[in-house]
Amino acid sequence: MAAPHGQMECKLYPSAFSGEVVFQVDTKIGQSYEGVAPKHYVQPNTQLTKEGVNGQVKVRVLDNGANEARVSVPDGQILTVSADKVHET
């Protein structure tokens, strides 16, 4: 059975390439993770700026428990983040 799709709240930044967006999220182990995603995988709340804007990136939800969620992000990494950042669609 395939993992459900979802969206993860994150910070979004413009990429050096026009078809990509950089996303940043804090993981449950206290580290910040930055990755890249195709533009059609993200939903910024406003126009992207160098300072970053709030938004969402599409993810595959592997596990969503009471306090933490494991997700597969568009660049292939698996992250453990706070469950309140992940919304299944």
Each residue's pLDDT, cut to its tens digit, for the chain (89 residues) gives 566 999 999 999 999 999 999 999 999 988 999 999 999 999 999 999 999 999 999 999 999 888 999 999 999 999 999 999 999 88
CA distances from 74 to 11, 40, 46, 53 (A): 15, 11, 21, 19
Q: How far apart are CA 69 and CA 8, in angstroms?
A: 10
Which residues span the domain enclosing 40?
5-88
What sign for the dihedral angle of Cα 76, 79, 61, 45?
negative
Q: How far apart are CA 25 and CA 79, in angstroms?
A: 9
Total count of domains within the chain: 1
**pTM exceeds cut of 0.95:** no
